[in-house]
Amino acid sequence: MTFPILSVILLTPLVAALILALLPGRLHDTIRQLSALAMIIVTLLTLFVYADYDMALGGMQYTEYMPWITDLGVAYSLGVDGISLPMLLLSSVVGLAAVYSSWHVEKRVKEYFVLLLIVITGV
């Protein structure tokens, strides 16, 4: 089994949001730094996938498949192709920019960054 890099890219902001939700709200700098760290990890992993993607081969690469509810034919499946890969890179860079552009938010910092990371997970 290969390393599920797409799942890690997808779930890193969500895990970071859950960790931030457990932190005390007064730790503004820690909340900002953990949000930035999560998005740096996502962006670096996305850059690795982008650099390692074989354009000559094309098609779906980095595929992940895991049956979920087999009786209903439901499965968890991820993969990138030549169209979704630039979108993945774009969303990770925009997410990183969103975290850094929100650095000066002063009201409800914890809630803001938790919700921002959840939105980034959804993108």
pLDDT at 96: 97
DSSP summary character for residue 107? S
Nearest of 108, 91, 121 to residue 15 by alpha carbon:
121
pLDDT at 2: 81
Sign of CA dihedral 8, 63, 92, 18: negative
Q: Please report where in the chains the tokens 């439901």 appear, as a residue.
A: 74
Determine the residue type at 55. Answer: M
Residues 19-38, mean pLDDT to the nearest whole number: 95
pLDDT at 72: 93
Domain that holds residue 46: 5-122
> How far is the C-alpha of 13 from the C-alpha of 4, rounded, in Å?
15
Count of domains in the chain?
1
pLDDT > 90 fraction of the chain, expressed in percent and rounded: 90
pLDDT at 97: 97
Say if CB 25 and CB 68 are below 8 A apart.
no
Q: Give me the chain's average pLDDT, please.
A: 94
pLDDT at 25: 86
Flag whether pLDDT at 1 surpasses 70: no
**pLDDT single digits (tens) 60-104:** 999 999 999 999 989 999 999 999 999 999 999 999 999 999 999
